Structure 1
Amino acid sequence: MLCPAMALANPDFWKHEWPETDFGTTTIDNWVEILSGGPPKDGIPALSDPQFVLVSQETRIGGREPVIAVEMPGESARAYPLRYLTWHEIVNDTIGATPIAVTFCPLCNSALTFDRRVADRVLTFGVSGKLRNSDMIMYDRETQSWWQQAIGTAVVGMLTGTELRPVVSWMEDWDSFRHRNPDGLVMAQPPHNRPYGRNPYEGYDSAYKPFLYSGEFPPHDIDPLARVVRVGNKAWPLDRLRTLEGIKEDGIEISWTSGQASALDTAEIGQGKDVGTIRVRDAAGADLPHDVMFAFAFHAFWPTGIWMLGD
């Protein structure tokens, strides 16, 4: 009889739940890296066809609560509140002609938006219930391939190796979004029975170690649950940016402004400690794709990445 560790290290263990997934095509060398986060496939229900209300009509969201902002040329700006994404993790949406997936992995604090088009098809993403390096593994309903959220790349199945195109987005406080976009849209409360506005990971970003993570901790004595701003394969510690209130370095400008509550601190998301808002722009002032993630996750997925410590 296989012991549990050996069973988990064998892809046959997952085939009963994923009969349509091609486990013979993968970039994963060691299956023991794949862990169950607790909920089964679709136990965390991703959203599709979300509804929106005008910014002026929204009354539930506190001013300091974090939202993911997506602003596309010629389209109304949209805000996706973390009070909802904390419980759903993926929103499949379409802005103009662009189908997007807005994603949030609470365990890595990773908030990324992707274009859902791959070759000649549009994918629809769900939550697999599996984790790797504590990061959410998404799956697409069309091919049942598995996708690593932090890197936007398929790691299991027929689409293995395919990379999703990032769409510029950023996390900011609700007050900043609505004051900049008085005619914008905000995702309406989903029709699910969840305690929206509550943080099920109370105190997580002050914990000693990440949940369900057995990899190396970051170098340079950086706290594993410290936030870093990732641009490509480089990471800037948020504390450094907060102290300097932004920086111009390596051909980009990273700004930091106060006002955004952590979604992973207090029981009520809107009462969390101030982690501020990051914007990343190129030399011409255009916003760049980036992530504000925990340091352990950056080190796990970019083990040879560059730490921008300023010394």
Structure 2
Amino acid sequence: MRRRTLLTTAAAALALPAAAQTNFLNQQWPNTDFSRAAVPLSEIRSGGVPRDGIPALDGARFGAATGLDAREPVVTVALDGQPERAYPMRYLMWHEIVNDAIGGVPVAVTYCPLCNSALVFDRRAAGMVLTFGVSGLLRHSGLVMYDRQTESWWQQFTGEAIVGRLTGTTLTQLVSWTEPVSAFAARNAGNVMQQPGAARRYGSNPYVGYDGAAKPFLYSGEDPPHGIPPLARVVRVGDRAWPLSRFQASPVIEVAGLRLEWRAGMASALDTGRIAQGRDVGAIRVYGTDGRPVPHEVVFAFAFHAFTPNGQWMLGR
């Protein structure tokens, strides 16, 4: 398996020395403005694949939810006035970014397996419509995207440009959630992304057992506080995080104007070799006081701590 071999090789990788790093970056990214950066370049390292080694998709076809197990996770995108769309994790696992448009709104549907972060953004920023690719780089184990217009680098977890001309620009996050395809199909007759034409092992998980590992991949930061395991799942809403373990006592939590609901029936995409056979981790929906969906995502605890170091842990104590 080429992908797994690359991951094994990258596990031993270290950040390049400053001089070598500068030379490498100028060769590989000649159009990136390295005079502008919001983070130290030393925090950014190779993930073991070159730029576009994980190919982002431009556009997608949609139809019925055929060939998918009922428990397989999909990223559902809901824009006002538009039918919902579902992007199966079995495709995002191998492409990480889908540049698409919904009702005239250019969107980027993104997924970082190493952080388990699925986020959807409006691709309009700085007076441009951006298209995104996978840089092959990581920061705090998180996906670093790049835009093809300016070759600025973007932290997927935050939606912020961290290196290049657009440094400091933040993408608008759109409402999305992850749920089993059966739940989506119960509300929608179609609108499920169809299999791309690329030669990939769709439906398989190249990160077998990752969400049961003791440590994250290529991460040297602090562990989460309160004894929370680094790869425990948490629900992030802004700068707050609820450990999924809290939902064992009650499937519904109402606090601070939010209603968080957990339902069983969704397979983990990062457990067994086949996504459809992953253990049941359930799915989360978050609503505001008006009953409308609130942007949120279920991520690994270490990633929330790394990118939101002053975040609030909602432990219910």
Normalised by the size of structure 1, how large is the TM-score?
0.95
Deviation readout 1:65-104 (Å, 9 max, x if unpaired): 0000012233222100000000000000000021100000
CA distance in 1, matches of 2:213, 2:309: 22
How far off is 1:51 after superposition?
Answer: 1.3
How far off is 1:140 after superposition?
Answer: 0.3
Corresponding position: 1:20 with 2:31: yes
What is the one-letter code of the residue matched to 1:258?
A
Corresponding position: 1:134 with 2:138: no
Deviation readout 1:104-142 (Å, 9 max, x if unpaired): 000000000000001321000000000000000000000
| Partner SS state of residue 94, structure 2 | helix
User: Is the 1:7–1:13 contact (alpha carbons within 8 Å) kept by the matching residues of 2?
Assistant: no
Corresponding position: 1:87 with 2:97: no
What residue is the counterpart of 2:161 in the other structure?
154
Percentage of pairs with the same residue: 58
What is the one-letter code of the residue matched to 1:218?
P
Corresponding position: 1:217 with 2:226: no
What residue is the counterpart of 2:60 in the other structure?
50
CA distance in 2, matches of 1:49, 1:93: 5
User: Is the 1:8–1:34 contact (alpha carbons within 8 Å) kept by the matching residues of 2?
Assistant: no
CA distance in 2, matches of 1:89, 1:119: 23
Match of 2:236 among 217, 230, 237: 230
| Partner SS state of residue 246, structure 2 | helix
Superposition map of 1:92-171 within 5 A:
92-171=99-178
Corresponding position: 1:173 with 2:173: no
Q: Quickly say closer, same or farther: Cα 1:134–1:9, change in 2 above 3 A.
A: farther
Match of 1:39 among 25, 40, 49: 49
User: Is the 2:72–2:181 contact (alpha carbons within 8 Å) kept by the matching residues of 1?
Assistant: yes
User: Is the 1:131–1:137 contact (alpha carbons within 8 Å) kept by the matching residues of 2?
Assistant: yes
CA distance in 2, matches of 1:4, 1:127: 19
| Partner SS state of residue 210, structure 1 | coil
CA distance in 1, matches of 2:316, 2:151: 43
What residue is the counterpart of 2:8 in the other structure?
none
Q: Quickly say closer, same or farther: Cα 1:8–1:223, change in 2 above 3 A.
A: farther
Farther off after superposition, 188-197 or 70-79? 70-79
Residue ranges of structure 2 left out of the alignment (5+ in a row) = 1-13
What is the one-letter code of the residue matched to 1:197?
G
| Partner SS state of residue 261, structure 2 | strand
User: Is the 2:94–2:200 contact (alpha carbons within 8 Å) kept by the matching residues of 1?
Assistant: yes
What residue is the counterpart of 2:74 in the other structure?
67
Residue ranges of structure 1 left out of the alignment (5+ in a row) = none
User: Is the 2:238–2:296 contact (alpha carbons within 8 Å) kept by the matching residues of 1?
Assistant: yes
How far off is 1:241 after superposition?
Answer: 2.3
CA distance in 2, matches of 1:289, 1:299: 18
What residue is the counterpart of 1:289 in the other structure?
295
How many residues are aligned here? 304
CA distance in 2, matches of 1:42, 1:9: 22
CA RMSD for the aligned pairs?
1.4
User: Is the 2:47–2:137 contact (alpha carbons within 8 Å) kept by the matching residues of 1?
Assistant: yes
| Partner SS state of residue 32, structure 1 | helix
How far off is 1:242 after superposition?
Answer: 3.8
User: Is the 2:71–2:181 contact (alpha carbons within 8 Å) kept by the matching residues of 1?
Assistant: yes
| Partner SS state of residue 15, structure 1 | helix
CA distance in 2, matches of 1:125, 1:40: 15
| Partner SS state of residue 62, structure 1 | coil
How far off is 1:10 after superposition?
Answer: 4.1
CA distance in 2, matches of 1:147, 1:209: 24
Q: Quickly say closer, same or farther: Cα 1:23–1:175, change in 2 above 3 A.
A: same
User: Is the 2:15–2:45 contact (alpha carbons within 8 Å) kept by the matching residues of 1?
Assistant: no
User: Is the 1:65–1:261 contact (alpha carbons within 8 Å) kept by the matching residues of 2?
Assistant: yes
